[in-house]
Structure 1
Amino acid sequence: MKRLTLFAIMVMLGTFGARAATTKVFREKSFNDFLKGELKSTSLSNEGKLFPAPAAEKVAEAEEGLIWRIITRPDGALFFSTGNEGKIFICEKGKKAQVYCDLEEVAAFALALDSKGVLYAGASPGGKIYKIAQKDKPEVFFETKQEYIWDLLFNAEGHLFAATGSEGKVFRIGPKGTGDIYFETPEKHIMDIMFLSQPKDSGLFLATQDKGRIYRVHDKDKAFVLYDSGADEVRALAEGADGFIYAALNTGKGGAGGPSQPTLPAQLMEMIKKESPSGDEDSGDSGESEPAPQLKLGMPMISGKKSTIIKMDISGYVWPMLDAPEAPIHCLAYDSTMKTLLAGAGEKGKLYRVDDLNKFSALLSADEKYILSMASAEGGFYYGTGETAVIYSLNWKDRSKGEYISSAQDAGSAVKWGLIRIDADIPSGTSIKYATRSGNTNEPDKSWSDWSKEEMFKNKQGNILSPVARFLQYKLLLTGRNEAIYPVLQEVTAYYIPPNRAPIIEQIEVAKEGKAQPSPRQMIMMMMNKDKPEGSKPDQKPGGAPSESGASTDAKANSNPQKVKISWKVNDPEGDQMRFELQFKGEDETVWKKIEDKLDKSNFDLSTAALPDGRYRIKVIASDLPSNPKSSAMESELISEVFVVDNTPPKWTEEISYKAVDKNSIMVKAGVEDKSSIIASAQYSINAGDWYVLFPEDEIFDAEKENFSFLIKDLDKEEAAITLQVTDAEGNTLVGKVLVIMKKK
């Protein structure tokens, strides 16, 4: 009978989906997820699948920084040019690479072999083409008088074509070294040229920079723009199966004009200045040698960069193939053995394989930063790197080993790590191992733990043995049997548990509802009428017509709702579900009293009707118990500022009285006091008529005790009822009346 593990039960019950300081996960399963890591010797399909890459075998290396161009000789030997010392190397089968020729110029971006296997090199700057029939014996074959030579190519008749910059010219040179301009474009640079093997009479194809266009040149000075890409450059061309043309397009800033120089990454821009040999008879009157011009390689790719690959036929019909995940594309080649297109791109040494529209893979990642050159031959497929000059060959039949290292995964705080699980197809005879390390810096450094011991996944899961830390990195080692049988991984999930941290109560507010303090409108009206004679009628009534009880409609007697609204803000670091308890205590008391202990909302309406008048505080206790075991649940508390409970109206300190001033006028006097709140407003009415705003003797409501003295004129009746209404800040109202009897003569 099969048994469910505790882990399996937790997964089935959805424990890991709960918002709590319990198990959490990070998961990687897409192309973009895995691309953040280091592919090393693994391939990553656009579907997000990881599998062992073809083995990359080191063929040659040189103590130089860059490999600009690779070509293969029929006997299997390789010629390659390097930077930044103008050296050209030869690597014959079974031998180490050695210098074949050291040019005076900084670089040879272009190499070509004639039908007899003789090497030709296009040097920059200066635009000389060298014929190098023997080791260390370069001879000037032709001078283009251009700044750059970007490509060299022989046709079937033995004519050499040279693509140049910065005037956008193609030269045709005969076997004896004489030549002329074959075609001139309005663009500044011709980056690549190509003849198609089928159909053979299709003409010469040009790729330009400044405006990224593809030309088809039928004959001398006769050409047709086959495709205007709108990009800054068409970097490279490659012939695919059935006569299709592939092109790599790079865009920098975009906009009118484009870049004025060939586009290269910023790290490739700093070229070494080389001086021409001393003793040159034409060096000038001073007799000193003049330095050769410094090679300037133009603008780097900048923010907003974009690279794409298209496929087109000789008629000009275009199909988009790939929006490159990384830019710029440095080189492009078609591997006829595997019938696939390969592109070196970006600044992390990526080699991309493109099989069809939206069907591609990041084939591998070189140890070096750039893949700058490629060559396909019957003997194999080769690529050259930048940062360190190395040439590798691809062994498509060897997928025995693959290594992948993830990016640093951020848990947000120091956590304890649990299981790592994979979703993968692992055929018999293949395997996937893992190792992990952890640390507290966002980039792995010496402070991180060592890699754990490499372990085999058991039932596609294993324990993470790295110590408690904020960041985790995992490494996968995939072992295959042959070119067709190897493991394929689709998903990696790692589990962790953060420490349960107490919730944070940020603030408590106690809002007193329904206070009888004057509204803003009332306060404005009161200020407008403050300077009028006592007893005068205001410009606008403060509360409209009085009710039958004589109370104003804006400040009704006993308008205190005897209720406060308590609200609070809580932040829990783990996002746990909260439970709250409310308590209260008077300022002169020592023991907190419970109001409610099972609240799940962050507000509460508290009735103060049963509370004696006084000063009180509220305590909020927040607990994350609903999301955690009782043994690990955390709580915190916060105490509010003091608030006042006042349910008692003011009292008279001086009963309402009056004194006749003349036969039609009286002076009314009264005094009030409230034990808990300040006096907030006052108004009076004559014979249940309109209400008149009244200010205390000191003309400001700011104390618990206020005295009133006001003059009433023009009393035209022998008897009048004067009603005085006084309200405190909590809405408690005191009403008094005095009967005035005037003696009329």
Structure 2
Amino acid sequence: MNHSSLPAYAIFLLLSATLLEATQPVRWTTSEQSEFLQGEFTGVSVTSDGKLIMAPALEPLLDTEEAFIYSAVVDQGGNLYVGTGNNGKIFRINPRGQGSEWARVEDAAVYALAVDSLGRVYAGAGPGGKVYRINDRGEAEVFFDPDEKYIWALAIDRQNNLFVGTGPKGTIYKVNPQGQGDVFYDSKETHITALEWDLDGNLLAGTAPGGLLFRISSNGSPFVIYDSPLSEIKAMTVDRYGNIYAAALMRPEDPEGKSGPEPPSPAETAGNSGEVTLEISGTGEGTGLEIYKIDRENLVNLLYASDDELAFDLLIRSNGNLLVATGNKGRILSIDSRKFVTLLSESPGEQVTQLLEWEGRIYATTSNLGWVFELLSQPSSNGVYESKVRDAEMLASWGVIAWQMSNSRSRPVRVYTRSGNTRVPDQTWNDWSDAYSDAEGSQIESPPARFFQWKIEFLQGGESTALTSQRDAVESVTISYIQRNMSPQLTSLTLHPPGIALVRPAVANPAAGVALGGPDRAHIRSLPRSVRNLDGQPAQASSRRVYSAGAQGVSWTAEDPNGDDLLYSIHYRRQDEVTWNLLAEDLEETYYTIDGVSFPDGAYWVKVAVSDRASNPSAQALESEMVSQSFVIANSSPSLVLGVPQVEGTRATLEFTVQTKGSVVHQAEYS
């Protein structure tokens, strides 16, 4: 978070607010990509250097009305096929964007799709573990049944042989065009999670839970390119230079990466009715993501890492930018050759599951709203960015909001604010304010509350998919606010044993002949018991204890919700008095020593008051106080009255009376 200087108008308003509301003003500036990413995006992108711009338009093509889209493929004619769950439906969208249900398999979920050179569509499903071939009329028939539970990935070579990645046995099958298949490679892993071809015609395979990336030659000879520290290779793609891009995940079921016997897979639950419910892999919170670039020499370069995201698919663009489909906020990231990451778009679905390109057109599918979108080259017609909710930690009054555009000729934006007293905005929050117009500093209209949020609405115009221009970028947004002053509180008040004085720590001076630890220990037996145990008592951080006859040490602790500077005053009164008498005021220390020698004997109380007037104007300053338990000051020596001795033989009895003024007799000696 940056704390850049405010414009002159904003400073004026901020100073005015300081005089009216007291306590210390706070500025909240959002200007870094990591800060912007905590908000919500609709038609807005954030660049790697932390600028908000218009996103490329995300045009909806088809609502499948299914919960999950697991797979997608495009044929040579530009028809897009998407596999869904939990009803085994496959949808087709033609190049004109018209789509509908096309086929259905006898299984719950279509996890993989592929198209051969003759335009025949293959679907891998689960939990039945069969591969289906679908004709032009959308009729599906079982093409290959490997006696597996899941078909996770499909790949087709130049001879139209189909390669099938399965689980939970981790086997890859090679199936000829007639549907005859054999084991191509047994990985000894649990799941084959991804298949892809490199430029030399070798099959690339990703696994779980080992997180291995294999290169397998045409004769089935394997070579591990990379052993990821994470548990699953989820997606792969290859660029025109032969570089391999791979996304690896760490799953919640396997927090240590390699220990879990079962890899991540869609969860199944079956009731008495026999109904099977499938949940998309990774719908929970992400526990780790790494994206690698592996060159033709097998050198691995980490492009991107995240602790709270999942990646479901990768797409390499002709310009070298890598697009990443992520969850759990349905975001599409763009990573350039410099490893700079741009949040390209945020979809309505919780996960972007598939990314495809056909003749320059980019398609994206989502889950937990099973939609198909096209990512257009032109910008969105409008865009809205909502900041994260700011917690002022207590009731606050809002000062000004100011924002900075990339240049003075930028297309104007509309800025709004709202406030409320729940952590998550709901119907109890105040409505969004009217739009603010002065970027140099506008007085915030939202009522005082604990929580605050702002949003920016972009007008039509902005950037394209290439993100080459940032002329209409918002670079930073700053708000000021002041917490309502709250009373400081004393949290403890301690009376130390009589005879112990609390003094400021000092450097020892050997020439003075005084030991900092207290009196000469050779005379310890002549001191009160409380002083004899002086070494064993905890010391205050800002004071030290020494013996002083008649001293009464008092210490206290206090806190202020606003973090204000505090001043203290200490008062006393005797048992027979009504009014309090001031001992000291404007103390910064949290201790004080009463010189009991100058006080008459009797029972006393002390009262400590704490005030935040050091940080607030007198009219707004607040204070609180605490009263101690009673204590006794006894400076007078006890009086002794001896009686007449009573002698009986060799035994004599002497009665005596000791009187004190309020104190207690601890010990009497005779000789």
Q: TM over 0.5, yes or no?
A: yes
Q: What is the aligned partner in structure 1 of residue 65 from structure 2? A: 63
Q: What is the aligned partner in structure 2 of residue 511 from structure 1? A: 496
C-alpha separation in 2, matches of 1:32 and 1:340: 20
2:655 corresponds to 1:673:
no
Q: What is the aligned partner in structure 2 of residue 524 from structure 1? A: none
C-alpha separation in 1, matches of 2:432 and 2:353: 32
2:273 corresponds to 1:310:
no
CA contact (8 A) 1:432 1:457 kept: no
1:454-465, aligned counterparts within 5 Å? Answer: 454-459=435-440, 461-465=441-445
CA contact (8 A) 1:262 1:298 kept: no
| 1:204 Cα deviation from its structure 2 partner | 1.3
| Equivalent residue in structure 2 for 1:375, among 356, 360, 364 | 356
Q: What is the aligned partner in structure 2 of residue 269 from structure 1? A: 267
CA contact (8 A) 2:209 2:264 kept: no
CA-to-partner distance for each residue in 1:373-427, whole Å, 9 max, x for gaps? 1212223111100011111121244266432212221111222111123344245
CA contact (8 A) 1:427 1:485 kept: no
| 1:245 Cα deviation from its structure 2 partner | 0.1
Q: What is the aligned partner in structure 2 of residue 724 from structure 1? A: none
Pick the structure with greater CA Rg: 1
| Equivalent residue in structure 2 for 1:473, among 425, 438, 453 | 453
CA-to-partner distance for each residue in 1:35-76, whole Å, 9 max, x for gaps? 322133322345444333222111222111111112223333
Q: What is the aligned partner in structure 1 of residue 541 from structure 2? A: none
| Equivalent residue in structure 2 for 1:138, among 137, 140, 163 | 140
In the superposition, relative to structure 1, how do residues 408 and 301 fare at CA in structure 2: closer, same or farther (>3 Å)? same
CA contact (8 A) 2:268 2:276 kept: no
Give ranges in structure 2 of 5+ residues lacking alignment: 1-5, 501-519, 530-546
| Equivalent residue in structure 2 for 1:83, among 82, 85, 91 | 85
CA contact (8 A) 1:106 1:273 kept: no
| Equivalent residue in structure 2 for 1:43, among 45, 50, 57 | 45
Q: How many residues align?
A: 622
1:663-742, aligned counterparts within 5 Å? Answer: 669-685=655-671
| Equivalent residue in structure 2 for 1:350, among 324, 327, 331 | 331
In the superposition, relative to structure 1, how do residues 95 and 678 fare at CA in structure 2: closer, same or farther (>3 Å)? closer
| Equivalent residue in structure 2 for 1:566, among 554, 569, 575 | 554
CA contact (8 A) 1:439 1:447 kept: yes
C-alpha separation in 1, matches of 2:7 and 2:155: 68
In the superposition, relative to structure 1, how do residues 205 and 299 fare at CA in structure 2: closer, same or farther (>3 Å)? closer
Aligned partner of 1:416: which letter? S
Structure 2 residue matching 1:682: 3-state secondary structure: coil
2:166 corresponds to 1:167:
no
Q: What is the aligned partner in structure 1 of residue 374 from structure 2? A: 393
C-alpha separation in 1, matches of 2:271 and 2:652: 107
C-alpha separation in 1, matches of 2:41 and 2:634: 72
Could you tell which deviates more after superposition, 465-474 or 127-136? Answer: 127-136
Structure 2 residue matching 1:683: 3-state secondary structure: coil
Q: What is the aligned partner in structure 2 of residue 425 from structure 1? A: 406
C-alpha separation in 2, matches of 1:256 and 1:329: 16
C-alpha separation in 1, matches of 2:255 and 2:663: 71
2:206 corresponds to 1:207:
yes
C-alpha separation in 2, matches of 1:273 and 1:237: 36
Structure 2 residue matching 1:609: 3-state secondary structure: helix
C-alpha separation in 1, matches of 2:12 and 2:277: 66
2:412 corresponds to 1:413:
no
CA contact (8 A) 2:494 2:628 kept: yes
CA contact (8 A) 1:400 1:482 kept: no
C-alpha separation in 2, matches of 1:511 and 1:683: 27
In the superposition, relative to structure 1, how do residues 510 and 482 fare at CA in structure 2: closer, same or farther (>3 Å)? closer
In the superposition, relative to structure 1, how do residues 552 and 321 fare at CA in structure 2: closer, same or farther (>3 Å)? closer
| Equivalent residue in structure 2 for 1:321, among 276, 291, 303 | 303
CA contact (8 A) 2:387 2:455 kept: yes
C-alpha separation in 2, matches of 1:36 and 1:132: 44
C-alpha separation in 2, matches of 1:599 and 1:312: 66
C-alpha separation in 2, matches of 1:273 and 1:106: 15
Aligned partner of 1:375: which letter? L
Structure 2 residue matching 1:33: 3-state secondary structure: helix
C-alpha separation in 2, matches of 1:652 and 1:297: 91
Aligned residues: CA RMSD? 3.5
Q: What is the aligned partner in structure 2 of residue 613 from structure 1? A: 601
Q: Percent identity over the alignment?
A: 28
Q: What is the aligned partner in structure 1 of residue 385 from structure 2? A: 404
C-alpha separation in 2, matches of 1:544 and 1:130: 95
In the superposition, relative to structure 1, how do residues 273 and 612 fare at CA in structure 2: closer, same or farther (>3 Å)? closer
Could you tell which deviates more after superposition, 45-54 or 602-611? Answer: 45-54
CA contact (8 A) 1:585 1:592 kept: yes
C-alpha separation in 1, matches of 2:212 and 2:614: 65
Q: What is the aligned partner in structure 2 of residue 178 from structure 1? A: 180
CA contact (8 A) 1:106 1:272 kept: no
CA-to-partner distance for each residue in 1:57-116, whole Å, 9 max, x for gaps? 112221111111122233332111111111111111335311111222222222222223
C-alpha separation in 1, matches of 2:455 and 2:280: 39
TM-score (norm: length of structure 1): 0.76
In the superposition, relative to structure 1, how do residues 130 and 23 fare at CA in structure 2: closer, same or farther (>3 Å)? same
1:75-114, aligned counterparts within 5 Å? Answer: 75-114=77-116
In the superposition, relative to structure 1, how do residues 426 and 270 fare at CA in structure 2: closer, same or farther (>3 Å)? farther
In the superposition, relative to structure 1, how do residues 174 and 507 fare at CA in structure 2: closer, same or farther (>3 Å)? closer
In the superposition, relative to structure 1, how do residues 510 and 5 fare at CA in structure 2: closer, same or farther (>3 Å)? same
C-alpha separation in 2, matches of 1:295 and 1:162: 24
Q: What is the aligned partner in structure 2 of residue 645 from structure 1? A: 633
Aligned partner of 1:594: which letter? L
CA contact (8 A) 2:54 2:462 kept: no
| 1:8 Cα deviation from its structure 2 partner | 2.5
Q: What is the aligned partner in structure 1 of residue 119 from structure 2? A: 117
TM-score (norm: length of structure 2): 0.84
CA contact (8 A) 2:404 2:439 kept: no
C-alpha separation in 1, matches of 2:471 and 2:159: 47
Aligned partner of 1:562: which letter? G
CA contact (8 A) 1:260 1:298 kept: no
2:243 corresponds to 1:244:
yes
2:446 corresponds to 1:446:
no
| 1:669 Cα deviation from its structure 2 partner | 4.9
C-alpha separation in 1, matches of 2:180 and 2:72: 26
| 1:258 Cα deviation from its structure 2 partner | 4.6
C-alpha separation in 1, matches of 2:16 and 2:297: 58
CA-to-partner distance for each residue in 1:626-648, whole Å, 9 max, x for gaps? 11112211122333222222211
CA contact (8 A) 2:499 2:552 kept: no
Structure 1: which 4+ aligned runs deviate by more than 6 Å?
13-16, 271-275, 295-299, 301-304, 659-663
In the superposition, relative to structure 1, how do residues 607 and 194 fare at CA in structure 2: closer, same or farther (>3 Å)? same
C-alpha separation in 2, matches of 1:54 and 1:273: 44
C-alpha separation in 1, matches of 2:369 and 2:35: 28
CA contact (8 A) 1:153 1:161 kept: yes
Structure 2 residue matching 1:627: 3-state secondary structure: coil
| 1:580 Cα deviation from its structure 2 partner | 2.2
CA-to-partner distance for each residue in 1:111-159, whole Å, 9 max, x for gaps? 2222232322223333433332322322333333332222222222332
CA contact (8 A) 2:133 2:143 kept: yes
In the superposition, relative to structure 1, how do residues 135 and 378 fare at CA in structure 2: closer, same or farther (>3 Å)? same
Give ranges in structure 1 of 5+ residues lacking alignment: 276-290, 516-542, 686-745
C-alpha separation in 1, matches of 2:406 and 2:521: 83
| Equivalent residue in structure 2 for 1:602, among 590, 600, 608 | 590
Aligned partner of 2:153: which letter? D
Structure 1 residue matching 2:641: 3-state secondary structure: strand
C-alpha separation in 2, matches of 1:168 and 1:560: 82
C-alpha separation in 1, matches of 2:406 and 2:416: 19
Could you tell which deviates more after superposition, 230-239 or 427-436? Answer: 427-436
CA-to-partner distance for each residue in 1:141-180, whole Å, 9 max, x for gaps? 3333332222222222332222222322222233333333
